[in-house]
Chain A
Amino acid sequence: MSAPAEETQKYRDHEGPYFGSFGGRWMPESLVAALDEVERTFREAKADPAFIAEFQRLSRDYTGRPSLLTEVTRFAAEAGPARMFLKREDLNHTGSHKINNVLGQALLAQRMGKTRLIAETGAGQHGVATATAAALMGMECVVYMGSADTKRQALNVARMRLLGAEVVPVDHGAQTLKDAINEALRDWVASVENTHYLLGTVAGPHPFPEMVRWFHQIIGEEAREQILSMEGRLPDAVAACVGGGSNAMGLFHGFLDDPEVALYGFEAGGDGVETGRHASAITLGRSGVLHGARSYLMQDEDGQTVDSHSISAGLDYPSVGPEHAYLAETGRATYEPVTDAECMASFEMLCRTEGIIPAIESAHALAGAARLSRSWGEAGEGKIIIINLSGRGDKDVETAAEWFRLLPGQKNDPVAETDTAENGADGPSPAPETGVQA
């Protein structure tokens, strides 16, 4: 790609372990040797043309890269004045951006001589991607998944099993993503000799935040090239949902050192940040250490992790990758919460106006971008927003059907009719009896 030859690459080349005061390795000593090995292997691989060629070949011939950049005129017209383009990570093999990082790390695992992959998963997309790579490369695969998530993403559990992976439901704690990570770490401490922990986001101890970002950086690089060739200019803003933050970091990376491009990350606002039932760690702004990194963390006065809540299993995580904490602190990127209700209104709107069913995770980015477009008023006319459509929504059809009461026997009562207007979608869940939340 062709970044303008600016000498002020302040953000793009930032390496771990620290991002400002965030990041590091807050980990049991037992795992430090394994982290060192991963870091060493990653640095060697990055400098090895054969590795790069193999990663690019898989990205092209297996994942289907480059992913499209699609202008969504009907959605944009309903949302506000700005033009909107979707970066179509939903069209990747396995249905989300997660596959980029998974193929990269699986290649590294092979390079280290590991024969077994373990992973945590929330929405199931990262687990599916990991199971897929394990099948492709002939490796053993175990995926840890909170039991609350195995219920709300049951189809993905079946997909992983079809792909030959063992799915282990995790029953303790909140039974969501954070508990799945705890269990994967416990496995890894005992199995490092033959096992690689394929962490699915830009969180965790060094070198994961830097390494996972590197494997996803292609998203932003492609988007930048595509918008330049389609429109001859950079976008005014890019937007992505933020759970751990991998799809956002991948998109942001292409624009980090273009100060004219605003970067927006949208966190899961659940029932609303003021209710305490949300997953907006950056918005809360309390620093702490969890799962190997110092970052923003949802915690009580004693430092106990507070359970997060979101309709989206993939964003239901009480912390966030340390580089996002740094970008928030420096003001380079802006992070805002999007409630379940706002998200689902945009989910419905994209289905109806564009014939694209987004992942509920990605619908947070759509809702945030729509809010941004409206906030510009007339000044937004002709402005361009690129939104990362990080995944497709097949896995979420059941949740959406319950939310909108579309199942046989339920009263057909689309929330969209009452809730898409302005930003009045902050109210409580219209269908709290769905039973999809933990």
Chain B
Amino acid sequence: MSTTTAADKHPATSASKTARAIEAARSQGRAAFVGYLPAGYPDKATSIAAAIELARNGADVIEIGVPYSDPVMDGPVIQQATTEVLARGFRLPEVFEIVEAVVEATDAAVLVMTYYNLIDRMGAEEFASRLAAAGGAGAITPDLIPDEAGEWIAATDRHGLDRVFLTAPSSSPERVEKIVAASRGFVYGVSVMGVTGARDQVSDAAERVVAAAKSAGAERVCVGLGVSTRSHVEEIGRYADGVIVGTALVTALRDGGPSAVAALTAELTGAGASR
């Protein structure tokens, strides 16, 4: 299943766009800020404009979520947004166009976040090739575990793309090792046992998740799920290499458009004050 061809090409950090973006933040003495928005929400042009605002206001990495009919890892806010996008007739190639437009307009590393059947249907090789051609940095795959990822690992190796796997509070040490070894770019530390959605507090599991991944050799671990305030960002930034915000940004986009995304991103990154 898994590849042998690319063992030589990969751990070179500099080849990973996402790694470079996270390292750049680190060299400024801060954790990277990773912002999530769904592709095509509320429409294609606005979703591009909102993603550009993310970057302008301090996001180092941008996740473009691909709307999917069965998003089992998403809570009500993101579900509602992506369901709306699908209802208006969204087609998959739109994602590559959005990625390309955001890559052209910003310096951020742009990843897609996608459930695996969308990759599977197109074919891992074709999906990776189109994502790379659009200038995308790689993909986060919330329902793909390394055990099933042979084709995806081979395809991302061939196209020099990052592939981000998730590690959870419930992951055993053996699994964390497997996840860290399979990931490229960063490892996504799930802060809490649950689905996406803004939460009042950062789970105390998050720090343990990061420590476990680091002791398994991870160079970069970003933490997400439930992060919604500047104080969460600061708290997580003390032990993680990056902080991922999704639902709070989607809510801002829903209620106030790209300018609300800009304002919230500036607040979360502290961009107004320190940069």
Residues of A at the B interface (CB closer than 8 Å) are 24-34, 36, 172-173, 178-179, 182, 185-186, 189-193, 288-291, 297, 299, 301-305
Contact = CB atoms under 8 A, between A and B. Distances in A.
A63 B98 CA distance: 56
Given A190-B194, A290-B117, A302-B91, A30 B70 contact: no
Given A25-B145, A291-B72, 16 more contacts: A24-B147, A26-B148, A33-B168, A33-B175, A178-B70, A179-B70, A182-B71, A186-B73, A186-B195, A189-B72, A189-B73, A192-B170, A288-B121, A289-B143, A290-B70, A303-B92
Contact of A303 (B122, B142, B171): B122
Interface of B: 68-73, 75, 79, 83, 86, 91-92, 116-122, 142-145, 147-148, 165-172, 175, 179, 190, 193-195
A28 B72 contact: yes
B79 A172 contact: yes
B121 A302 contact: yes
A33 B121 contact: no
- Residue from A186, A291, A299, A301 with most neighbouring chain B CB atoms (10 Å): A186
A115 B75 CA distance: 25
14 contacts: A26-B116, A26-B143, A27-B145, A28-B168, A29-B171, A186-B73, A189-B72, A190-B195, A291-B72, A302-B121, A303-B117, A303-B119, A303-B121, A305-B70
A190 B193 contact: yes
- Residue from A34, A185, A303 with most neighbouring chain B CB atoms (10 Å): A303
Interface of B is mostly: loop
The 10 closest A-B pairs by CB, nearest first: A303-B121, A33-B170, A30-B168, A190-B194, A302-B92, A305-B69, A303-B118, A304-B69, A303-B117, A185-B72
A25 B148 contact: yes
B176 to A, nearest CB: 10
B145 A32 contact: yes
A189 B86 contact: no
Given A26-B144, A32-B175, A289 B117 contact: yes
Contacts of B190: 29-30
Nearest to A31: B170
Contacts of A299: 117, 121
Contacts of B172: 33, 36
B117 A33 contact: no
B117 A297 contact: yes
Contacts of B121: 288, 299, 301-303
Nearest to B188: A29
Contacts of B142: 28
A29 B70 contact: no
Contacts of A291: 70, 72
A304 B119 CA distance: 11
Interface of A is mostly: mixed
Contacts of A33: 168, 170-172, 175
A161 B69 CA distance: 30
A289 B175 CA distance: 22
Nearest to A307: B69
A322 B267 CA distance: 48
Nearest to B196: A186
A315 B90 CA distance: 28
A304 B120 contact: no
Contacts of B145: 25-27, 29, 32
A192 B193 contact: yes
Nearest to A193: B193
A196 B37 CA distance: 33
B166 A28 contact: yes
A382 B111 CA distance: 64
- Residue from B69, B79, B179 with most neighbouring chain A CB atoms (10 Å): B69
A29 B168 contact: yes
Contacts of A290: 70, 117
A186 B168 CA distance: 15
A23 B171 CA distance: 21
A182 B72 contact: yes
Contacts of B70: 173, 178-179, 182, 290-291, 305
Nearest to A184: B72
B194 A29 contact: no
A299 B92 CA distance: 13
Nearest to B142: A28
A30 B170 contact: yes
A405 to B, nearest CB: 35
Contact of B170 (A32, A179, A305): A32
Contact of B193 (A27, A30, A185, A305): A30
B169 to A, nearest CB: 8
A304 B193 contact: no
B209 to A, nearest CB: 11
A305 B166 CA distance: 24
A315 to B, nearest CB: 18
Contacts of B116: 26, 289
Contact of A25 (B71, B118, B147): B147
A181 to B, nearest CB: 8
A134 to B, nearest CB: 22
B170 A288 contact: no
A33 B166 CA distance: 13
A140 to B, nearest CB: 18
B158 to A, nearest CB: 21
A187 to B, nearest CB: 9
Contact of B120 (A28, A29, A303): A303
A172 B69 CA distance: 10
A272 B91 CA distance: 27
